[in-house]
Amino acid sequence: MKKDLVTLGEALVVFSPADAGPLRFVHNFTKSIGGAEANVAIALSRLGHKAGWISRLGNDEFGRYVRYALQGEGIDLSQVTLDDNLPTGILFKEQYHNSNPNVYYYRKGAAITAMGKEFINPEYIVNAKILHTTGILPALSANTKEATFEAIQIARNAGVMVSFDPNLRLKLWSKEDAKITLLEMAKNADIIFPGLDEAEFLLGTSDIDKICKQLHEMGIKLVVIKLGKDGCIISDESNKVTLPGFHVHRLIDTVGAGDGFAAGFLSGLIDNKPLYECGEMANGVGAMATLVRGDTEGYPTRQQLLEFMGKAKAVER
């Protein structure tokens, strides 16, 4: 069955602290799912689209938990393989009294690091409308870097739209390696979702006009710059528009908001909506993600998103 979107990447089991403060003083945690590409698949599925995810998990209880959770979201996992020898990755959040938690990863030697290009099924990618990629997977190992570029090349050869979110993670690799690889991915993308800081890292400028011009000159058709609470800027080579963000009264957790943003925009594209409506949906999903603790817990259904954006009336009782 043809998918609206296929993505490949890592999923981690996330442990969030019950209390704020250094982890050495925290004794209780809640368990959930995290991982940028899986987040996008979950957000899109909740919005009513068919999403597939390519990955490797440990054949362990954490891997089974990830499969259970993603299957419950309606995501196709036919391209997920289990490793009997390598574990599923985990991460711990450390919450002080601010919106952005510290994050500690335990993913070295995880099952995903053994996912090379031989695990990429061309037919699966060819039968998708969009291939979504991020800069996290190629940073994990030489194997995953090969798999990432293999998937991108298959998509480009088949005319499948390539979506790219840089998702810069300097804990994973050097600035030099990150810049070289992310720019190469950008040159092969049809749409890119950089934050302003990521664009400046890649291009050496914070000037919006220069950023859009340089990215379009690479061959990228759509540039969508994330501005956090201030919304986003969308450029399609001929026009550039700024869309304000939605006001959030009580910010709870910003992790996963960028992935939700990308999913909201891609949802609009899949439904052939005008670009400004795609941007509104992106801003809406991104804002709603910050209202709930956890990477994916705040992602809305289609009806919830419309109500949040003031485009549908909620029936409360």
Q: Which residues are known to be catalytic?
A: 259
Strand 232-235 to strand 222-226: parallel, antiparallel, or no bridges (unpaired)? antiparallel
Q: Are 167 and 134 a contacting pair, CB within 8 Å? A: yes
The H-or-E segment that residue 92 falls in is strand 90-94
Kindly give the interhelix angle for 175-187 and 142-158, rounded to the nearest 10 degrees. Answer: 10
In angstroms, the CA 220 to CA 313 distance is 37
In angstroms, the CA 296 to CA 165 distance is 17
In angstroms, the CA 34 to CA 201 distance is 25
CA dihedral 244, 189, 132, 147 (to 10 degrees): -150
In angstroms, the CA 265 to CA 193 distance is 10
Nearest-Å Rg of the Cα atoms of the chain is 18
Partners of 92 in the β-ladder: 15, 104
In angstroms, the CA 304 to CA 9 distance is 27
The CB density around residue 271, as the number of other CB atoms within 10 Å, is 15
- Nearest CA to 52 out of 111, 99, 84, 5 is that of 5
Token pair of 296, please?
Answer: 């994916």
Contacts of 159 (CB under 8 A, 6+ apart): none
Max CA pair span of the chain: 56
Structure-token match 């992935």, residue found: 259
